[in-house]
Chains A and B, each alone.
Chain A
Amino acid sequence: MSSSEEDFKSTIAEYLEALPPQFCRRVFSNPAACLAIFRLLSTVGKQLIMSMLYLETPIKLHDVHQWARHSHLRLLKSKVHQLRKLHILVEEKGMVSLNSIFREQLRNALTGGGDFSSFGVPYRGSDDSSSSSSSRVAAGRLARYADERWETILHFMVGRAADVRPPSDSVRGILKMSKLMEEGADGMRITNRGFQFLLQDSASQVWTVLLQYLRLAEIQDMDVVEVLNFLFQLVSLQLGKSYSAERLTGNQRKMLNELRDFGLVFQDERDPKRFYPTHLIASLTSGSGSSEPAAASATGDGKKDSGGAGDTAVARSKIPGTSVMAKQRFSELLAPSEKGYIVVETNCRVYAYTDSPLHIAILNLFVHLVSRFSNFVTGVLTRTSVRRALSHGITADQMIAFLTTHAHPQMQGNVPVLPITVTDQIRLWEKEKNSLHPSPAHLYREFAQKADFERVFRYAQEINVILWASIEKRQLVVSRQGHPKIVEFIKGLKNQQQQQKQNA
């Protein structure tokens, strides 16, 4: 779970890294964007920024390195490097400081200055004069709406399109562009990437979609910075509040419409001036928010009062005030689909308490389903079924993560959640499949002299490009990356020998 999440976070970070500096400067000119980017960074990165946020003068890079304990110096250096790639940290003649725009706007985010509407303009309607009951009704509806939309898309991907309405053109466009689906002879077909996508938690899925959206914006010649700023604004909105759509630019309105198709925001047709963010987008900058509700709702199910771990934490993060009401309010928002429903036995049998065709279809990706009842499915994890999933590009970790996140409340108490025999078996099957690694290489043989071979061999060892070597046979296999260097080296060697001959 965490690994896949890291992946997707790093991809949004990679996206930002790839932006040219002048773009970054424009993105940074928005406090909401600065805060959202800040939240995506690692803990140490955040601490570095905060340590330097209120420093007026640049400090020596060497001094920054002194902050780390000796055993963690490498970690600190890598974080500093990451910040520099994101253009947050600026180095000049061995002195480092924060990007001045980023510094100013992050300060603004903390103190409440700067750009007027960067955190979204709350909607002030006549009927919505701070009555909490009305927004509460909307909250339940919002969750249902978001899940319905999102699941429709996932349904569509697993190919149960017969009983669901196909999503809009823009959604299909994005699915195609992200190579989650491809155009086949008989309509759209899911790809290997699509299979992997299905097994991820919803936060990672949303990130994937948003990243695709950014790429789409590039292709359509939309202003990327505008799109990016709007995205960062969206992720910092409060769940259960409505915001005004009146001040949005044309592009932003267009985006809003398309994100609505994904269920990320909600707009009432009768009242197009306001929109609500849904839990899908509001949980993005809270790192663990995606996985925790599932676990929390599962454990806290029977005993509402004590509450689940994530339940409290997540509820507090979104709804200020640590009241019991807020907790309950959040558990209401939880979609039924996010509660655990899978039981795995040590003999690799899988029981799933679900009637959702989507869940069954996803399980069918790597479980051999045996029987189906009205609200219950049984199946077995077999070598064939797992290998089939592996051949689709789904990894063992993804399968294990999926089973763990959706484990039945009764399983949640176990440590670890899944039986070790099962997880080990899945990993073994993966290893079995991956025991052979093809990699492009170059073979060197028929060295005339043993000394020549040894010199080349030693050089190849130094630059670490040897894949295989036999000293007796005087044969050497080097990787493709190493090939040009070895060729250079041998040429140099020959030249040397010729020169020596001439001299002699």
Chain B
Amino acid sequence: MSEPVESDASLLVVALDINSSAWARSLLTLDSALQQTIIFINAYLALKPENQLVVLASSKRQCKCLYPPENKNFVPEQDIQVYEQFRVVDVCILAGIKEMLMGAEVAAADANRGIEEGQTLISRALSKALCHINRVNESTLSKIWSRILIISAAEDSPREYISLMNSIFAAQKMSVLIDICKVIGGDSVFLQQAADISGGTYLKLDVAGSESLLQTLMFTFLADHYTREILYMPGNEQIDFRATCFCHKRVIDIGYVCSVCLSIFCKMAPVCSTCRTKFSIRLIKPESRSSSASNGQTTRTNSQQALSVSNSASLSQGTLL
């Protein structure tokens, strides 16, 4: 992997969380957050004319690409106040979000089947972003450094854990940074991991305090790969590495790990639901394990552990890192 140089262009994917029920709980309104995000996006476009941009919006039901617009010949009304390049982006984003919010209100009538109010489809936005980045990388010869910025409002949704983790590792492989700006609520376990694994920055904004979204965006998330090698980035030392179980989608501290496919379960099961491996009952039963071995001996869920018991399929219990 080559080093970023100053003249390299970058590709930024901004994923906006527009979950209205999450924003309703915040001091910062969605409206003003949008305005500040758009200024940030304009600033990004001002940095280099070669810079490319993708804007995604994600609500609890759908994830849509707002920019570049689907309609290629989209030409907004003439307005001499604003720099041409900025205006097209701004108009696209605002129109797209308005449309999505209106649509959401209509759809709210049909039952929220299994959808929790305060959760957003972040994994969908991430995979869309990665697809777009991949397409751009394939179609251009010169190096483009890509990163994803998620402006997140909603809580973690455990049912997304698996797809989210897959996206994060894909991003790591493609050397795409994932930056997280958590605007509302508590820390997000999954997104912290996303930023940490991909080498991005995770910041939780204290809106109630004096911090402004715009200043944070400008200060931290505007820097491209090259600048990040020169300037310090605010980091997060304490990262919650907990995982969710595959069976009940709960965030757990201690669980069972399939020695074949490394799936995580909160409860014992005779058969792994992911790879269909049958576990030997002798090993599963707690009393069959020597009490001294399980006593206080914590094992890390890594591949070495899985290899050591590879011959007889077993379900090993240990503290998850």
Chain A interface (Cβ < 8 Å from any Cβ of B): 2, 32, 35, 38-39, 42-44, 46-47, 50-51, 53-55, 66-69, 72, 75-76, 109-113, 116-117, 119-122, 124, 130, 132, 236, 238, 241, 285-289, 292, 299, 306-310, 312-314, 316-318, 320-323, 325-326
Smallest CB-CB A-B distances: 5 pairs? A112-B82, A309-B142, A309-B141, A286-B49, A317-B49
A323: which of B48, B72, B87 is its contact (CB, 8 Å)? B72
- What mask results when residues 74 to 99 of chain B are scored 1 for a CB within 8 Å of chain A, else 0? 11001111111111111000000000
State whether the Cβ of B214 lies closer than 8 Å to any Cβ in chain A. Answer: yes
Contact B9 A313 (CB under 8 A): yes
State whether the Cβ of B277 lies closer than 8 Å to any Cβ in chain A. Answer: no
Contact B86 A313 (CB under 8 A): no
> Residue of B at shortest CB range from A130?
B75
Contact B231 A116 (CB under 8 A): no
- 12 A-B pairs with CB atoms under 8 Å apart are A43-B47, A43-B224, A50-B47, A54-B212, A69-B230, A111-B42, A112-B81, A112-B87, A117-B80, A308-B141, A321-B68, A322-B52
Contact B142 A68 (CB under 8 A): no
State whether the Cβ of B227 lies closer than 8 Å to any Cβ in chain A. Answer: yes
Q: How far is the CB of B67 from chain A (nearest CB, A)?
A: 9
Chain B interface (Cβ < 8 Å from any Cβ of A): 6-7, 9, 39, 42-43, 46-52, 68-69, 72-75, 78-90, 139-142, 144, 212, 214-215, 218-219, 222-224, 226-227, 229-232
Contact A47 B227 (CB under 8 A): yes
Q: How far is the CB of B209 from chain A (nearest CB, A)?
A: 15
Instruction: List 13 extra interface pairs beyond A53-B218, A54-B215, A130-B75, CB under 8 A.
Output: A35-B46, A35-B83, A42-B6, A43-B6, A66-B232, A69-B232, A112-B81, A238-B84, A286-B48, A287-B50, A316-B50, A323-B73, A326-B72
A166 to B61, CA, bound (A): 67
Chain B residues with CB under 8 Å of A323's CB are 68, 72-73
A49 to B299, CA, bound (A): 49
Contact B222 A44 (CB under 8 A): no
Chain A residues with CB under 8 Å of B88's CB are 320-321
Contact B49 A39 (CB under 8 A): yes
Chain B residues with CB under 8 Å of A68's CB are 230-232
Contact B230 A76 (CB under 8 A): yes
A323 to B88, CA, bound (A): 14
Q: How far is the CB of B92 from chain A (nearest CB, A)?
A: 9
Contact A313 B84 (CB under 8 A): no
B83: which of A53, A236, A292 is its contact (CB, 8 Å)? A236
A46 to B222, CA, bound (A): 10
> Residue of A at shortest CB range from B7?
A288
Q: How far is the CB of A105 from chain B (nearest CB, A)?
A: 12
B39: which of A38, A111, A122, A132 is its contact (CB, 8 Å)? A111
Contact B73 A132 (CB under 8 A): yes
A120: which of B80, B222, B226, B232 is its contact (CB, 8 Å)? B80
Contact A43 B142 (CB under 8 A): no
Chain B residues with CB under 8 Å of A317's CB are 49-51, 85
Contact A285 B49 (CB under 8 A): yes
With A47-B227, A122-B78, A313-B9 as given contacts, are A109 and B46 in contact (CB-CB < 8 Å)?
yes
B139: which of A109, A292, A312, A325 is its contact (CB, 8 Å)? A312
Interface of A is mostly: helix
Q: How far is the CB of A310 from chain B (nearest CB, A)?
A: 7
Q: How far is the CB of A289 from chain B (nearest CB, A)?
A: 7
Q: How far is the CB of B22 from chain A (nearest CB, A)?
A: 25
Chain A residues with CB under 8 Å of B72's CB are 321, 323, 325-326
A245 to B68, CA, bound (A): 32
Contact B140 A309 (CB under 8 A): yes
Contact B7 A2 (CB under 8 A): yes
Chain B residues with CB under 8 Å of A113's CB are 81
Contact B84 A320 (CB under 8 A): yes
Chain B residues with CB under 8 Å of A38's CB are 46
> Residue of B at shortest CB range from A316?
B52
A50: which of B74, B79, B218 is its contact (CB, 8 Å)? B218
A54: which of B48, B144, B214 is its contact (CB, 8 Å)? B214
Q: How far is the CB of B16 from chain A (nearest CB, A)?
A: 18
A285 to B12, CA, bound (A): 20
A288 to B144, CA, bound (A): 14
> Residue of B at shortest CB range from A239?
B84
A92 to B214, CA, bound (A): 26
A117 to B141, CA, bound (A): 38
Chain B residues with CB under 8 Å of A236's CB are 83
Contact A44 B227 (CB under 8 A): yes
Contact B218 A54 (CB under 8 A): yes
Chain A residues with CB under 8 Å of B51's CB are 317
Chain B residues with CB under 8 Å of A308's CB are 141
A286: which of B50, B80, B144 is its contact (CB, 8 Å)? B50
Contact B80 A116 (CB under 8 A): yes
> Residue of B at shortest CB range from A306?
B139
Q: How far is the CB of B212 from chain A (nearest CB, A)?
A: 7
A288: which of B50, B52, B140 is its contact (CB, 8 Å)? B50
Contact A44 B231 (CB under 8 A): yes
Contact A119 B230 (CB under 8 A): no
Contact A46 B47 (CB under 8 A): yes
A320 to B92, CA, bound (A): 11
Contact B140 A44 (CB under 8 A): no
Contact A43 B80 (CB under 8 A): no
Contact A307 B139 (CB under 8 A): yes
Contact A121 B80 (CB under 8 A): yes
B226: which of A43, A66, A288, A312 is its contact (CB, 8 Å)? A43
Chain A residues with CB under 8 Å of B214's CB are 54
A483 to B23, CA, bound (A): 72
> Residue of B at shortest CB range from A310?
B142
Contact A307 B140 (CB under 8 A): yes
Q: Which of B43, B75, B78, B79 lies at the interface centre, i.e. has the most chain A CB atoms within 10 A of its CB?
A: B43
With A68-B231, A130-B75 as given contacts, are A119 and B83 in contact (CB-CB < 8 Å)?
yes
With A110-B43, A312-B140 as given contacts, are A51 and B69 in contact (CB-CB < 8 Å)?
no
> Residue of A at shortest CB range from B216?
A54
Chain A residues with CB under 8 Å of B84's CB are 119, 238, 241, 320
A43: which of B52, B69, B144, B227 is its contact (CB, 8 Å)? B227
> Residue of B at shortest CB range from A244?
B80
A314 to B172, CA, bound (A): 28
Contact A110 B49 (CB under 8 A): no
B78: which of A44, A124, A318, A322 is its contact (CB, 8 Å)? A124
Q: Which of B50, B73, B226 lies at the interface centre, i.e. has the most chain A CB atoms within 10 A of its CB?
A: B50
A124 to B80, CA, bound (A): 11
With A2-B7, A119-B84, A288-B7 as given contacts, are A51 and B218 in contact (CB-CB < 8 Å)?
yes
A265 to B231, CA, bound (A): 40
> Residue of A at shortest CB range from B75?
A130
Q: How far is the CB of B84 from chain A (nearest CB, A)?
A: 5
A47: which of B78, B140, B215, B231 is its contact (CB, 8 Å)? B231
Contact A69 B50 (CB under 8 A): no
Chain A residues with CB under 8 Å of B80's CB are 116-117, 119-122
> Residue of B at shortest CB range from A35?
B46
